[in-house]
Amino acid sequence: MAGGRARARAMSGRRRIHCKHSEPMSAMLSASEVKQRLRAAEQRSPLLVRPGFLIRRLHQLHGSLFLEETRAFGITPVQYSLMTALAERGELDQNSLALEIGLERTSVAEVVPRLQERGLLERRPSRADGRVKLVRLTRKGRSLLRRMAPAAQRAHDRTIEKLPAGERDAFLLNLIALVEANNDAGSVPFRLPGPGTP
């Protein structure tokens, strides 16, 4: 958060103007003002002070933005995550792939054949255990992932662009902290890399 404040101050200094929307909310509001705003939000709807509801709604909104930005590629957010994991980790068996993206193995088993039919993935039996199928991106899949990256990033950027610029990094860090702190509570496992883990 300190880095976000420093960047916001630097930007304000360069522009020689003060814009309250470029500063983190923590610098704009006192603790009592935050509580007051939360009470006002709760009066509008009790759903607005429930983190689970807000996260689900934001996920819906991101899905719409992702579809809008990436429509030409015909790839869903889950498929994009799966392909990204393969690009980062290389060839994986389907159980390990599910662990990489925090998705049920049955869902991965449904997604992989669809991408394979489009020539974006290929599967082969493991030499160590013929019952295990290894999955990797094809050249076509890697090419699509590279071409799609700017559009996908626009969707991610638009998801949080309504926050003041100085708050966005802190918001992401808070999301990371919540996922890390609660990762073991999930019914679907997710391989959470440690600091410096590839």
Three-state secondary structure along the chain? CHHHHHHHHHHHHHHCCCCHHHCCHHHHCCHHHHHHHHHHHHHHCHHHHCHHHHHHHHHHHHHHHHHHHHHHHCCCHHHHHHHHHHHHHCCEEHHHHHHHHCCCHHHHHHHHHHHHHCCCEEEEECCCCCCCEEEEECHHHHHHHHHHHHHHHHHHHHHHCCCCHHHHHHHHHHHHHHHHHHHHHCCCCCCCCCCCCC
Domain annotation covers residue 79: yes
pLDDT tens sequence across 103-160: 999 999 999 999 999 999 999 998 888 788 999 999 999 999 999 999 999 999 999 9
Task: Let me know if residue 187 belongs to a domain.
Answer: no
At residue 26, the pLDDT reads: 55
State the pLDDT at residue 147: 98
Question: Is 127 a member of any domain?
Answer: yes
Q: Is residue 121 part of a domain?
A: yes
Residue 106 lies in a domain: yes
Query: Domain for residue 130, yes or no?
Result: yes
Q: How many domains does the chain have?
A: 1
Domain membership flag for residue 159: no
CATH number of the domain to which 95 belongs:
1.10.10.10
Supply the range of the domain harboring residue 103. 70-149
Q: Examine residue 35 and state whether it is found in any structural domain, yes or no.
A: no
Query: What global pTM score does this model have?
Result: 0.80
pLDDT of 25: 57
Q: Which residues of the chain have pLDDT under 70?
A: 1-27, 195-198
